[in-house]
């Protein structure tokens, strides 16, 4: 691969993380599950991609998210959040708030509309991103930071590109049946090795993958144990209160996720705005993600007591939130102001960009969605 070279400090940090992972592999009889490798690569204290100090988002980072493209994204989400809070409580809880731009845009739009937000809580695992959020949101005293799920919550919950960053297990179909892909050290480098499925993974395979035994030999895919666990906790939180969670991410329902032709899985890495498929490249310096199985996410929340309120494309959701009207706040005659926003909106809505690949899952309890959003629901496809 021809990728940008890291700085000497970044390379040293990656090498330190590699040594830490290799030491754990040695302690675990020579192999660890890929889910554990991904967890360490992303979240190992001080060295992982999200827990270290490297920039993640924007032109100096590794990828760009929807809130970074345009304030219209946060303004649109604010419309849905306002409708949920009107039926529950004036509270917002955001998971993985990135640079803080989404929170700032949501709070600014709600203030413009005269909608009070008593408390905006953020759960953020990255120390570097939390520091950026605190700077970006210094003018909003109602913002607080949490280290995990609150015991009780009423209001609106936001999660933009949270589920795709949770560790996944990798499985491969072989002539002898399904096997787990684990990580070992071979000739001084990380490499895959196979192991028998645990009872937990076997149960997850049966629950998550339709017609798993009919898939071809050599087929590789992911199981989303961490994300379904998160959705179970989120569903239980909502079941104890009143409100709804809006989760935006790229992915598919199960019937599309596990197509026979998707035989290499969906694992993808992002480094300095380059996408590639090698999870062992510079651990700690690149993002590692997998597409979201929205069927599994919906079932996990539902099993925990929440209701599936809606599932739709990002384009349908943003249009239902009135993003077109929000754009027209800027005079089209003012080309210098209007055209950049119109171009960003095209990326958010276009099927060739983010509009169709990104989906929106809404789960909740005790609230209903506004009619334009309810009309776009296609949860029958989950």
What is the tens place of the pLDDT at every residue in 303-331? 999 999 999 999 999 999 999 999 999 99
Between CA 364 and CA 145 the distance in angstroms is 22
307-313 vs 287-289, strand pairing mode: unpaired
Average the pLDDT over each of 123-127, 215-219, 253-257 and give the range with the smallest value.
Answer: 123-127
Count CB-CB contacts under 10 A for residue 122: 24
Q: Is residue 56's pLDDT more than 50?
A: no
166, 172, 178, 181: CA torsion to nearest 10:
-60
Give the tens place of pLDDT for each residue, 364-376. Answer: 999 999 999 999 9
The whole-chain average pLDDT of the chain stands at: 94
Residues 10-32 pLDDT 10s:
899 999 999 999 999 999 999 99
- Compute the residue count for the chain: 382
pLDDT in tens, 67-79: 999 999 999 999 9
Give me the pLDDT at residue 57, please: 43
Is residue 348 within 8 A of residue 318, CB to CB? The reply is yes
Cα separation of 222 and 7, whole Å? 32
Average pLDDT over residues 279-294: 96
Q: 């102001």: which residue's tokens?
A: 337
Instruction: Tell me the CATH architecture of domain 49-181+195-382.
Output: 3-Layer(aba) Sandwich (3.40)
Q: How far is Cα 185 from Cα 154, in angstroms, rounded to an integer? A: 47
- What is the predicted pLDDT for the residue at 209? 95
pLDDT of residue 51: 83
What is the tens place of the pLDDT at every residue in 122-177? 999 888 889 999 999 999 999 999 999 999 999 999 999 999 999 999 999 999 99
pLDDT value of residue 7 = 87
Asked if pLDDT for residue 58 goes beyond 50, the answer is no
pTM of the model: 0.95
Q: What is the pLDDT of residue 4?
A: 81
- Please, where are the H alpha helices in 240-320? 254-257, 294-303, 314-320
**pLDDT band at residue 1 under the 50/70/90 scheme:** low
Tokens, residue 2: 């021809």
pLDDT at residue 273 is higher than 80 = no
Between β-strands 358-365 and 292-293, what pairing exists: parallel, antiparallel or unpaired? unpaired
Contacts of 136 (CB under 8 A, 6+ apart): 99, 100, 101, 103, 104
Average pLDDT over residues 86-103: 96
CA distance 304 to 296: 12
The phi and psi torsions of 270 (rounded to 5 degrees) equal: -130, 120
pLDDT at 53 over 70: no
Domain boundaries, the chain: 49-181+195-382
Q: Looking at the predicted structure, is the pLDDT value of residue 64 above 80?
A: no
Q: Within 13 A of 116's CA, how many CA atoms are on the CB side? A: 4
The per-residue pLDDT for range 341-365, each reduced to its tens digit, is: 999 999 999 999 999 999 999 999 9
Sequence-distant (≥ 6) Cβ neighbours of residue 273 within 8 angstroms: 61, 62, 63, 64
DSSP state of 63: B
Residue 258: pLDDT band with limits 50, 70, 90: very high
Max CA distance (Å), the chain: 67
Provide the 3-class DSSP secondary structure of residue 326: helix
Query: Each residue of 63-97: b (16+ CB within 10 Å) or e?
Result: bebbbbbbbbbbbbbbbbbbbbbebbbbbbbbbbb
Predicted local confidence at residue 63, as pLDDT: 60
Which band of pLDDT confidence, cut at 50, 70 and 90, is reported for residue 2?
A: confident
CB atoms inside a 10 Å sphere around CB 343: 11
Beta strands in 124-219 (DSSP E): 143-146, 155-160, 169-174, 177-186, 189-196
Per-residue model confidence (pLDDT) at position 54: 56
CA distance linking residue 2 with residue 59, whole number of Å: 19
Q: Looking at residue 248, what is its pLDDT? A: 98
């Amino acid at each position: 691969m021809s990728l940008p070279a890291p700085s000497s400090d970044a390379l040293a940090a990656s090498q330190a993380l590699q040594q830490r992972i290799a030491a754990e592999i040695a302690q675990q009889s020579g192999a660890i599950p890929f889910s554990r490798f991904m967890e360490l690569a992303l979240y190992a204290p001080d060295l992982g991609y999200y827990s270290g100090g490297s920039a993640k988002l924007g032109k100096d980072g590794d990828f760009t998210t929807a809130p970074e493209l345009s304030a219209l994204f946060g303004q649109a989400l604010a419309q849905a959040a306002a409708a949920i809070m009107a039926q529950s409580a004036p509270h917002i809880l955001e998971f993985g708030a990135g640079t803080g731009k989404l929170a700032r845009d949501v709070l600014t739009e709600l203030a413009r509309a005269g909608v009070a937000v008593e408390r905006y809580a953020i759960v953020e695992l990255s120390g570097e991103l939390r520091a950026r959020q605190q700077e970006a949101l210094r003018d909003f005293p109602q913002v607080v930071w949490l280290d995990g799920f609150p015991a009780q919550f009423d209001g609106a919950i936001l999660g933009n590109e949270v589920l795709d960053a949770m560790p996944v297990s990798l499985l491969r179909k072989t002539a002898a049946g399904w096997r787990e892909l684990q990580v070992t050290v071979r000739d001084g480098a990380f490499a895959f090795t196979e192991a028998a499925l645990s009872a937990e993974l076997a149960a997850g395979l049966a629950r998550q993958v339709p017609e798993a035994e009919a898939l071809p030999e050599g087929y590789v895919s992911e199981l989303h144990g961490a994300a379904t666990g998160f959705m179970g906790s989120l569903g239980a939180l909502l079941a104890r209160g009143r409100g709804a969670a809006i989760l935006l991410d790229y992915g598919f329902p199960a019937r599309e996720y596990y197509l026979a032709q998707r035989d290499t899985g969906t694992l993808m890495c992002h480094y300095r705005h380059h996408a590639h498929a090698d999870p062992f490249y510079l651990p700690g310096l690149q993002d590692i993600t997998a597409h979201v199985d929205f069927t599994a996410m919906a079932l996990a929340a539902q099993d925990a007591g929440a209701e599936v309120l809606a599932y739709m494309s990002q384009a349908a959701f943003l249009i239902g939130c009135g993003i077109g009207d929000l754009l027209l706040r800027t005079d089209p005659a003012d080309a210098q102001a209007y055209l950049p926003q119109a171009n960003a909106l095209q990326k958010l809505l276009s099927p060739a960009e983010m509009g169709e690949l990104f989906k929106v899952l809404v789960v909740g309890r005790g609230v209903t969605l506004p009619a334009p959003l309810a009309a776009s629901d296609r949860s029958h496809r989950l």
